[in-house]
Structure 1
Amino acid sequence: MTVALATIGFTRTTAERFFERLGGAQVKRVIDVRLHNTSQLAGFAKSDDLAWFLRTINGTGYVHAPELAPTEELMKFFKTDKGDWKVFERGFRALMKERRIERELKPSFFAGGCLLCSEPTAERCHRRLVVDYLNEHWGGELKVTHL
């Protein structure tokens, strides 16, 4: 069985375009994979506001899944210290293995979902690493669309 899953970032877009993309993809639940989801810098994507907007605009659910986020140390290395992406990727993959996310979660958890993070594209974002890692362990069960 294949499970449809999307990913999206909220920076470098308008709220209008963000919610249109979610609605167009028929997302049923946003799965927030940020470590910190309450920053004032998040604008419309601050956790409580985002949950209200999702419910009101699109009838979409919201859940915070920090177990799918990098540690504070990994984020600091990559973002603040401008660390190498490949080093970040290896470190985050090791963290997912340590957390055993492929055993702790089931594909059904992601059905109709959309992983949310701040990066505008999935290319250098941990949300892509999450779905790639899970697909490696689940035999490609997640059919992923990066919005």
Structure 2
Amino acid sequence: MVELATIGFTKTTAANFFERLKKANVKKVIDVRLHNTSQLAGFAKAEDLAYFLKEICGVQYVHQPLLAPTDDILKAFKRDKGDWRIYENSFLRLMEERRIETRLKPDMFLGGCLLCSEDKPHHCHRKLVCDYLNTKWDGTLKVRHL
């Protein structure tokens, strides 16, 4: 069993975000955003985030765009005014096409926490990544949303 956390950075303060990571004993943040340098990201902008994670929490930062939706999927989601089912199906097909379950191994997620922008996992691709991998890896991931 591999314990894996997930977290979003919107609708929270930097203090709350980093405290949640520390309390969860996260060792590595795996950024699953396609674009990790947006000015809208605030404290979660790639270079700044890597520095803050190391200095505040002693946590490693890894950007893993293999686990991110494409620009086309993101744009279609916005164009279709957030039709979650269309987005979900498109992203699940993308993960299948990429064969992420063969390109990644469960031990890569040890002490890990998937990061994206959404504050809650319910309509977020980080949850879809966890669910997809668990179906392919026979429930190896024990997922906790921070």
TM-score by length of 1: 0.97
Q: Displacement of 1:80 after TM fit?
A: 4.9
User: Which amino acid in the other structure matches residue 85 of structure 2?
Assistant: K
Distance 2:132 2:140 in 1: 11
Q: Displacement of 1:82 after TM fit?
A: 1.5
User: Which amino acid in the other structure matches residue 41 of structure 1?
Assistant: L
Cα distance, 1:118–1:80 mapped onto 2, change above 3 Å: farther
The aligned residue for residue 105 of structure 2 is: 106
Distance 2:67 2:120 in 1: 17
The aligned residue for residue 36 of structure 1 is: 35
Runs of 4+ residues deviating >3 angstroms: none
Q: How many residues align?
A: 146
1:51 aligns with 2:50: yes
The aligned residue for residue 69 of structure 1 is: 68
Distance 2:45 2:61 in 1: 12
User: Which amino acid in the other structure matches residue 35 of structure 2?
Assistant: H
The aligned residue for residue 21 of structure 1 is: 20
Q: Displacement of 1:83 after TM fit?
A: 3.5
Cα distance, 1:11–1:80 mapped onto 2, change above 3 Å: farther
Q: Which moved more, 1:126-135 or 1:74-83?
A: 74-83
TM-score by length of 2: 0.98
1:88 aligns with 2:84: no
SS of corresponding position for 2:20 = helix
Q: Displacement of 1:81 after TM fit?
A: 4.1
Where do 5+ consecutive residues of structure 1 fail to align? none
Distance 2:20 2:117 in 1: 15
Distance 2:100 2:61 in 1: 19
Distance 2:59 2:79 in 1: 33
SS of corresponding position for 1:87 = helix
Where do 5+ consecutive residues of structure 2 fail to align? none
Percentage of identical aligned residues: 66
User: Which amino acid in the other structure matches residue 10 of structure 2?
Assistant: T
